Amino acid sequence: MDIARTPATPDGNPEMADAARQPSEPSLIRREDYLPFAWLVPQTLLDFDLGLESTTVTATLSVARNPAAARSPVIRLNGDGITAARVEVDGEESSSWTMDGDDLLLSLPGDAHQITIVTQIDPSANSQLMGLYGSNGMLCTQCEAEGFRRITFFPDRPDVLSTYSVRMRGSRAQFPVLLCNGNLTGEGEGENGTHWAEWHDPWPKPSYLFALVAGDLVARSDSFVTMTGRNVALNVYVRDGDLDRTEHAMESLKRSMKWDEDVFGREYDLDLFNIVAVSDFNMGAMENKGLNVFNTKYVLADPETATDGDYDGIEGVIGHEYFHNWSGNRITCRDWFQLSLKEGFTVLRDQLFSQDMGSAPVKRIEDVRVLRGVQFPEDSGPLAHPIRPDSYREINNFYTSTVYNKGAEVIRMMRTMAGEQRFRQGTDLYFERHDGEAATCEDFVKAIEDGAGLDLGQFRLWYSQAGTPKVSVELRHDGSTVTLALRQQVPPTPGQPDKLPVPIPLRIALFDRNGRTHRGEELIVLDSAEAEFSFDGFADMPILSINRGFSAPVTIERDVSRDDLVFLAARDDDPFARYEAMQELMTGHLVSAVGGELSDGDRDAARHDIARAMAAVIEDTKLDDLMRGELLLMPSQTYVAEQMLVADPGRIHAEREALKASIGSALGSELDALYARVEKVPYSRSSAACGARKLKTLVLTYFAASDPAKAAQLATSQYDRADNMTDRQGALMVLAGLDTVERTVKLMDFYDRYRGNALVIDKWFSLQAASLHGNALEHVKALREHPDFTMKNPNRVRSLYMAFAANPHAFHAADGEGYRLVADLILDLDPINAQTAARFVPPLGRWRRIEPGRAAIMRSELERVAAAPELSRDTYEQVSRSLG
Ligand code: B3K
Ligand code: ZN
């Protein structure tokens, strides 16, 4: 047949939808258009002839008609920027193929065939870092979501599972280590200084989980004995010289493996688990089957070069990728709309793991801070989408905090409602029922529903509705009865003007004002627009502690007195609720102050109450220092801005700094004593020592606002005496915000000391871009010309520009210079690395929530980006949604 005249969707591939689109506009892919692929690909053989500048790939696919799909005369094999040097069907060169855009369409007459396709690629020219690319002389891959199609033509969609056998050959000198998924099944010498290796992965997988690494690497090796007594060889591969910094990664991996057995009953399923660290990587890490590829940032650590936060990040990301082996690999996604099936669940799993490895309350608070700092703004802005989106143009734009972090919160709510034990019955059923499948979010919810015995009918709305629900709270007291009246509203979001009420599980406690203790915690579920809950036996109006542990990802609106907040901050037995009360105390004050509602007297009274609550926290001997640090932390500027319909970043910054200064002055002696105590704690990785380090730098930040000269002196001495990166970076962070000669001296010292260590030099860029210094914007402009700055390395780009875009006083400079800087970056970076460039659009996309003067400039900068002649699909989609 003449396949050139084949209808546009011969195989029901949803990527072919939206035929009516403008020629220049990338097509919209819709969840409802999903159709199974017409062909099965039970086996895939790949042969790689490796070279940095030229790699030849020969792919042989066994294909058979999919009985569950509509019959199609052709097979659509996705490609992206590649050409076929040769196409064979059943061993004969074929000419019955044609190109449809980047895809190859091949006419197949029978029910089963063998297709062989040869492609040639240049990994060294691949600056997008998707597909096969060169990094520091090594070759590595990134295939999720649609990178495999940059290597060879393939049905590059997650519901096509295939068993892969791979043979690769290359120069032994250049690529002494040859790695792939699964198990090594053979290796040997070739001609002309080459060698080869053969790998076989027995577990059928989608193409996005394929990985290959070839390079000059060394490994830290260890082993793990699984719950059924199988021995698994473990390796963490890094470049020569980095081996000393891999111990924490390896220990984290072993802890993850054990934890997943203990808590979720999941055992590892291959004899080998490899991790490879690469320095050029678009995100944190990738869960390829048996061969996780990591950004060096999430592997390398020692006390001299990594902060406590870095150590925690490594443990969390190693856990996350490992846990994907079951939640992602054994059960994968049917299509990319189901991304939260694997990401939301795996984030929940990594959060619970980290909670168990360290301080559970502190981890919970950190996770909520990320949710509120990143996901809430996303949910209230132009890019808002449900955790299971309905459409996209570029799937890379949907690896969002909503899909990941809100996705995790949604599953956490199921766990809260079911209880741990029944939730485990639900996940057991899910793993059993869908093992080996490409599943949907609906499959997951159904399994939890059946396994845990929950009715999740209405709860499913959490998957389809975007927006952060608002719950308003009123407490009434009558006789001996207390009535809690709750109302919920899910705000309109783009494309979703009207919302239905969702079930909101709220953990609450009522404190007896006299007894100063509560009568036990209860779980109530608000599942209608309004509801009242009554409690008997209260002679007086109690104090309400609500959304304890942040049991639901909602915002709570209530009138609560500062006295009650001071009480809860000091006395609530739920650590999260204590943190929340402190945050509310400060946020409430800042919002009123910025709104111009406060007399001098009101302002003094509020500051006095905040200082009083902080003093109680400093003196509370029952608190550990990690938690003390959380309670003493001010709400971020973004969080304060999020509480306002339209924010004036300049005013928020000024009020926030003023509050910080007033705390520093009011608590001068308490903070001095605290600093003196924690300064003496010697370095170790214990949580007590981590807590001490957290407080050390926190105290400096208050002094930096109240007494800059004293802060400079303390920070200089902390810098000089530091025997670890946490103290040194903390001190330098404070100095970087001050106008002092020590600022320059220590920044130079830091650079000289760590020159050549890319991850630490990233910190050096970030500290300056994120600093409170009045000239931070000028510093960033100078740093983009620094010889160590490059657009080719995503870590370096993020270290300068993400830190800058998250620095409110610099990014929101009143003259719009910060916005221009970020728009320039997007335009310059887009042709080099579109995925990373598109990540810089959301900060500009917030324009509707910023005061009109700045908003107009933000919008015009977005328009300038939109007008660029050749915009990637990634950036186009984000900019058009942000303007729309
Ligand atoms: N699954 C990868 C993310 C891939 C991102 C592609 N743009 C890492 C993770 O979430 O574990
Ligand atoms: Zn993930």
26: tokens are 């990338």
Tell the CATH topology of 1-121+136-213: Immunoglobulin-like (2.60.40)
Alpha carbon distance 403, 345 (integer Å): 10
pLDDT at residue 5 greater than cutoff 50: no
Closest ligand 1 atom to residue 396 Cα is 7
Alpha carbon distance 88, 527 (integer Å): 59
The amino acid occupying position 500 is L
Backbone angles phi, psi at 70, to 5 degrees: -65, 145
What pLDDT does 653 receive?
98
CB 12 within 8 A of CB 70: yes
Query: Which of 317, 343, 874 to probe ligand 1 with, by most ligand atoms within 8 A of CB?
Result: 343
What pLDDT does 60 receive?
99
Confidence at 762, pLDDT banded by 50, 70, 90: very high
Tens digit of each residue's pLDDT (9 = 90 or more) over 159-185: 999 999 999 999 999 999 999 999 999
Please name the residue ranges forming H helices in 595-740: 600-619, 625-631, 637-642, 649-666, 668-679, 687-706, 708-721, 725-736
Tens digit of each residue's pLDDT (9 = 90 or more) over 347-383: 999 999 999 999 999 999 999 999 999 999 999 999 9
Tens digit of each residue's pLDDT (9 = 90 or more) over 618-649: 999 999 999 999 999 999 999 999 999 999 99
CB 36 within 8 A of CB 159: yes
CB 845 within 8 A of CB 381: yes
CA 563 to ligand 2 centroid distance, Å: 42
CA 83 to ligand 2 centroid distance, Å: 31
Alpha carbon distance 151, 55 (integer Å): 9
Average pLDDT over the chain, rounded to whole?
96
Cα 795 to Cα 312, 431, 791: the distances in Å are: 18, 35, 9
Indicate if 321 belongs to the active site: yes
Q: Domain 334-464: what homologous superfamily?
A: Neutral Protease Domain 2 (1.10.390.10)
pLDDT at residue 16 greater than cutoff 60: no
Of 287, 321, 366, 409, the active-site residue reads 321
What pLDDT does 514 receive?
81
Alpha carbon distance 677, 689 (integer Å): 12
Cα 425 to Cα 228, 457, 759, 779: the distances in Å are: 21, 19, 42, 55
pLDDT at residue 10 greater than cutoff 80: no
Which of 680, 696, 688 lies closest to 729 in space, CA to CA?
696
For 322-337, what is the mean pLDDT? 99
Tens digit of each residue's pLDDT (9 = 90 or more) over 583-612: 999 999 999 999 998 999 999 999 999 999
For 741-768, what is the mean pLDDT? 98
Per the DSSP assignment, residues forming a β-bridge with 114 are: 62
Tens digit of each residue's pLDDT (9 = 90 or more) over 109-147: 999 999 999 999 999 999 999 999 999 999 999 999 999
pLDDT at residue 18 greater than cutoff 80: no
Confidence at 24, pLDDT banded by 50, 70, 90: low
Alpha carbon distance 632, 590 (integer Å): 16
CA 15 to ligand 1 centroid distance, Å: 20
What pLDDT does 513 receive?
86
pLDDT at residue 12 greater than cutoff 80: no
CA 557 to ligand 2 centroid distance, Å: 33
- Domain spans of the chain? 1-121+136-213, 217-313, 334-464
Alpha carbon distance 62, 112 (integer Å): 7
pLDDT at residue 312 greater than cutoff 80: yes
421: tokens are 């034990």
Q: What is the pTM of this model?
A: 0.97
Query: Which of 141, 144, 348 to probe ligand 1 with, by most ligand atoms within 8 A of CB?
Result: 144
Return the minimum-mean-pLDDT range out of 8-22, 438-452, 548-562.
8-22
Give ligand 1 pocket residues (Cβ under 6 A). Answer: 144-145, 283, 285-287, 320-321, 324, 343, 396, 399
What pLDDT does 540 receive?
94
What pLDDT does 740 receive?
97
191: tokens are 């001609």
Per the DSSP assignment, residues forming a β-bridge with 431 are: none
Which of 750, 829, 846 lies closest to 794 in space, CA to CA?
829
Atom 4 of ligand 1 has which residue's CA nearest to it?
144
From the candidate CATH numbers 1.10.10.2840, 3.40.50.2000, 3.30.2010.30, 3.30.420.40, the one assigned to the domain spanning 217-313: 3.30.2010.30
Atom 8 of ligand 1 has which residue's CA nearest to it?
286
Which long-range CB contacts under 8 A does 857-863 form with residues at least 24 apart?
Answer: 857/816, 857/819, 858/816, 858/819, 859/883, 861/816, 861/819, 861/820, 861/822, 861/823, 862/823
pLDDT at residue 204 greater than cutoff 50: yes
Atom 1 of ligand 1 has which residue's CA nearest to it?
286
pLDDT at residue 6 greater than cutoff 60: no
pLDDT at residue 568 greater than cutoff 50: yes
598: tokens are 């406060």
What pLDDT does 686 receive?
98
What pLDDT does 3 receive?
36
What pLDDT does 14 receive?
39
Tens digit of each residue's pLDDT (9 = 90 or more) over 214-268: 999 999 999 999 999 999 999 999 999 999 999 999 999 999 999 999 999 999 9
What pLDDT does 153 receive?
99
Closest ligand 1 atom to residue 282 Cα is 7
pLDDT at residue 459 greater than cutoff 80: yes
